[in-house]
Amino acid sequence: MQPIQRVAVVGAGNMGSGIAQKSAQEEFDVQMVDREQQWVERGQSIIGGFLKEAVERRIFSPSQVEAIQSRISGVVGVENTAENTDLVIEAVFEDFEVKTNVFNALDQACGKDTILASNTSSLSVNALAEATGRPDRFVGLHFFYHPAKNRLVEVIPAEASSPETIEKVVQYCKMLGKVVIVCADRPGFVVNRFFVPWLNEACLLLEEGVANAAQIDAISCKAFRIGLGPFGLMNLTGPPIALHSTDYLAEQLNTPRYTGAANLRALIEANEEWDVSQEADYTEGQYQAVSERLLGVVFGVAAQIVEEGICSMEDVDRGAKVGLRWARGPFEMMNRVGVAEACRMAEAYAKTAGEGWKVPAFFSKQGNKAWAFSYVDSTVNNGVATITINRPEAMNALNVTVVHQLTEAVAAANANDAVHTVVLDGAGKAFVAGADVKFFVDKIRADAIPEIYDFTAGGHDLLNMLEDSSKTTVALTTGLALGGGLELALACDYRIGTRRTQFRFPETTIGIYPGLGGSQRPARICGIPLARWAVLAGNFMDAQTAADLGLVTHLVDVAAVDECIRSLSVAGKPAEKYPGQPANPSSPVAKFASSFFTDDNMAVLMSGQCPDGFDKEEKLVARQIKSLSFTAPIGLRMASDLIDATATTDLQSGLQMELDGLNTIFSTKDALEGLSALIENRRPTYTNQ
């Protein structure tokens, strides 16, 4: 399947320019289309402003910004959209007739294989699809503002959308680094379905005199663990958007309760904003009344979404956490307050809401049993079992639940005689961005280090199942793989990478050492000196560097990933999984690491000094010494000893040595300091204790 590369965005306003910017940032070729040159130029100006800010914040360099802008070409007139465009995203005013006219023009201008998409937050995708001449090559997209920053996108297939169309668009969204929710075409889709009634209910609470706007915002911030309450949010995004959305839901869902509140209408007619400057202190009674009403509507609607088959409960939570930046999703919040109590709140709201609003039966029947979440998806197709870690809101970080579910999935694939190849994948931008650091911090502070040992030992069992599998095992490391995620990948027979692949072992910089084989497998793959370069100094590896070292076994274009999997399935397990030398010994990194991280130099390097024969002012040398200076001394020493042990031990003995050292490393003050600093986004201060 040829992936999307040439993208056009129709509408150069805030949303359209944001989609164009993000696409260009991720190296797509972009046309930004509008009716007049002035609007195209305005869109380019908006993008230029955001990119200028990114340079000031050191997110991009001036040369990167120049490259991004060079990928965006302005086009005046929808009819001038290039015929060979792979995907056109319409991002014009939320009006069915306007959008239909755009699609009629696009249908004439674009080739037969071009996919058309509408960026819509409310209109029926099926109706839009039928209004085009290619319903099988049409999908709905709902990007969240600002598209270049917000990581969520809802993908809404029409009933006629072909599987290939859906797959291509989802792949495009993932290449943008988005967390993708594929959902059914129902009013409000997922996030707006519960978020918009939440906003309107806040207006009704104000109208009833339960509390003032500032108090409702303060209560909401506490109850939902958010930074901005409903009135502050409406002031930020514009009250007319809230009114349009809630009236739409009221009409489409035949739910009078969702009809826009009278005070919201009056506010818009007066062209004013909500007054959030009043006294924000509230009574306990006000807190109970406001929080229970707002939680009740969210809990009930979340259950309705799942009952109607729009998406899973995991995706509902994902939408809240990624799209709205809530600390927890609705179902996670239900588990915290107790599902029976959450159901009581929803049923109380149902009485308030009246006609057209019901609590789903499955919610009422749940009792007080907590919702169980699934973070690992498995499919089998033509003998290939694809196991996807689906926790993109946390960059697929490994925690107790994920490791347990992943272990079950791998065990099932290993036991399935119809399966000959097991592929590990990660949803979203990352393969796996390491282990859940908060788990380690919580256990250290609770003096429960044995639980860290048990968790890590369980991880070793999982990796050993991959190591010893009779199936061909493949890790799709086509994104970010850090720490435990990289260790998981290295247990597989093959690692497929693309230009978006990034690897790193950060452990020594956060007070610990790699404990899931990271001290053992890299040295056996690419040799001890290069393992020291990767593990001890925690160097970032781009796709080419990872391939030169042999940590990526197959570096391919995105379009060639599926074919690479097929060829590996045919080839079977590798003749030599651990060659003990880099795949490309003549690469600059391999040549440098082989001479710099030698046995003879290690004592000097571990003392923070520059080895003889190297210029400490030379950029590459200085960077390594600086990187080593940022590590935790105890973690660095233990990691170095474990890497050295690969010269005299077999793999299983080395892995056991990793486990045996866990109690020691996690008992150090530096481990707590390094892990805590990572969570708190600060630089750690190590004391060698």
**pLDDT 10s digits, 385-431:** 999 999 998 999 999 999 999 999 999 999 999 999 999 999 988 99
In percent, the amount of the chain with pLDDT more than 90 equals: 95
CATH 1.10.1040.50 in the chain, residues? 191-364
What are the angstrom distances between the C-alpha of 136 and each of 98, 104, 126, 167, 681? 21, 15, 11, 12, 46
Mean pLDDT lowest among 120-129, 134-143, 481-490, 595-604: 120-129
Report pLDDT for 558: 86
CATH architecture of 6-182: 3-Layer(aba) Sandwich (3.40)
Res 73: pLDDT? 97
Backbone angles phi, psi at 386, to 5 degrees: -105, 120
**Sequence-ordered alpha helix ranges (H) in 6-91:** 14-25, 37-56, 62-70
Distance CA 684, CA 689 (A): 13
Whole-Å CA distances, 142 to 132, 150, 151, 483, 651: 18, 11, 11, 33, 48
Q: From CA 586, how far away is CA 58, in angstroms rounded?
A: 32
Question: Which ranges in the chain are annotated with CATH 3.90.226.10?
Answer: 376-680
Instruction: Report pLDDT digits (tens) over 651-689.
Output: 999 999 999 999 999 999 999 999 999 999 999 999 999
Check residue 429 and give its pLDDT: 84
Please state the rounded mean pLDDT for residues 323-331.
96
Helices vs. strands in the chain: H and E counts, helices first: 31, 18
Q: Using an 8 Å Cβ cutoff, are 407 and 370 in contact?
A: no
Token readout for 220 is 């909401």
Listed residue (321, 34, 74, 12) closest to 194, CA to CA: 321
What do you get for the CA distance between the two ends of the chain, in Å?
A: 54
Tens digits of residue pLDDT in 421-459: 999 999 988 999 999 999 999 999 999 999 999 999 999
Q: pLDDT for 264-304, tens place per residue?
A: 999 999 999 999 999 999 999 999 999 999 999 999 999 99
**CATH 3.40.50.720 in the chain, residues?**
6-182
Q: Measured between alpha carbons, how far is 159 from 130 in angstroms, rounded to an integer?
A: 10
Closest CA to 486 of 431, 524, 556: 431
**What was the pLDDT predicted at 536?**
97
Q: Give the list of residues 6+ apart from residue 333 with CB closer than 8 angstroms, or none.
A: 224, 295, 298, 299, 342
Residue 427 corresponds to which tokens in the numbers above? 């949803």
Distance, in Å, from the CA atom of 74 to the CA atom of 5, rounded to the nearest integer, reads 17
pLDDT at residue 355, as a whole number: 81
Structure-token pair, residue 42: 């305005």
- For the ranges 74-78, 175-179, 211-215, 397-401, which has the lowest average pLDDT? 175-179
pLDDT band, very low/low/confident/very high, at 617 (cuts 50, 70, 90):
confident
Residue 545 above 80 pLDDT? yes
pLDDT value, residue 1: 67
Burial of 650 (0-12, 13-18, 19+ CB in 10 A): exposed
**CATH of span 376-680:** 3.90.226.10
- pTM for this model (two decimals): 0.89
Residue 261 has pLDDT above 80, yes or no: yes
Contact 77, 33 (CB under 8 A): yes
As given in the structure block, the two tokens for residue 232 are 């502050």
Q: From edge to edge, which strands make up the β-sheet containing 87-90?
A: 72-76, 29-34, 6-10, 87-90, 115-119, 138-143, 152-157, 179-182
3-class state of residue 650 by DSSP = coil
Q: Is the peptide bond before 146 cis (omega within 30 degrees of 0)?
A: yes
Q: Are strands 138-143 and 72-76 parallel, antiparallel or unpaired?
A: unpaired
Q: Is 283 exposed, middle or buried (0-12, 13-18, 19+ CB in 10 A)?
A: exposed
Under 8 Å between Cβ of 567 and 423: no
Task: Give the chain's mean pLDDT.
Answer: 96
For 29-64, the pLDDT digits (tens) are: 999 999 999 999 999 999 999 999 999 999 999 999
**Is the pLDDT reported for residue 3 higher than 90?**
no
Report pLDDT digits (tens) over 136-157: 999 999 999 899 999 999 999 9
CATH of 191-364, one of 1.10.290.10, 1.10.1040.50, 3.40.50.720, 1.10.645.10: 1.10.1040.50
